[in-house]
Structure 1
Amino acid sequence: MPPAPPDPRPPVVTAARVTAALCLLAPFVALLWVDSYARLTPRFIGIPFFYWYQMAWVPVAAALTYTAYVLVRREERARKGGDDA
């Protein structure tokens, strides 16, 4: 069976997609900019800042990824007309 032809419509840039992209970009920027957190203080329950800052981003990144997923899914359903629930 031949592959389906590509969708001729150009991609749509919406506020939901831009917000989703920012949600996915934030953890990368925050964690790749090492100079912003490469220090020992302030300590949290005896753990140096360098370590607890990175670990704090784990649930934050998970929440941001879920938010991006929900935004894109909601936008796709609205674009398709909401017929496939």
Structure 2
Amino acid sequence: MWIAIVVILVPAIVIPLWVPLYDKVDPRLNGWPFFFWFQMAMILFATSCTVVAFTLSRIADRKDREARGASAGQGRVGE
């Protein structure tokens, strides 16, 4: 499952670094050049990828703890 998490996060990191992909003015969206509206769309895309990856990491961590025989709550200070 950890590999799936990496695969989910890689596009959110690589696409914004690939500048020739969005270094242009056209097509425009409601008068906004492509560069600007693409960056706004990437914020939403990266946020959704991060939320999905975080949720999967919580599930994977819980399964890893159960596989080792420890419950998710053990080992915390004060419990």
Q: TM over 0.5: same fold?
A: yes
Cα offset, 1:72, TM superposition: 1.1
Gap runs ≥5 in structure 2: 74-79
What is the aligned partner in structure 2 of residue 84 from structure 1? 72
What is the aligned partner in structure 1 of residue 15 from structure 2? 30
State the alpha-carbon separation in 2 of the partners of residues 19 and 53 from structure 1. Answer: 25
Secondary structure of 1:56's counterpart equals helix
Map Cα deviations across residues 15-74 of structure 1 (whole Å, 9 max, x no partner).
x21111122221221110000111111100100001110110111111100111111110
Pairs aligned (count): 70
State the alpha-carbon separation in 2 of the partners of residues 74 and 67 from structure 1. Answer: 11
**Bigger proportion of residues as helix:** 2
- What is the TM-score with the length of structure 1 in the denominator? 0.74
Report percent identity of matched pairs.
31
State the alpha-carbon separation in 2 of the partners of residues 67 and 18 from structure 1. Answer: 13
Q: Does 1:66 align with 2:54?
A: no
- What is the TM-score with the length of structure 2 in the denominator? 0.79
Gap runs ≥5 in structure 1: 1-15
| RMSD (Å), alpha carbons | 1.5
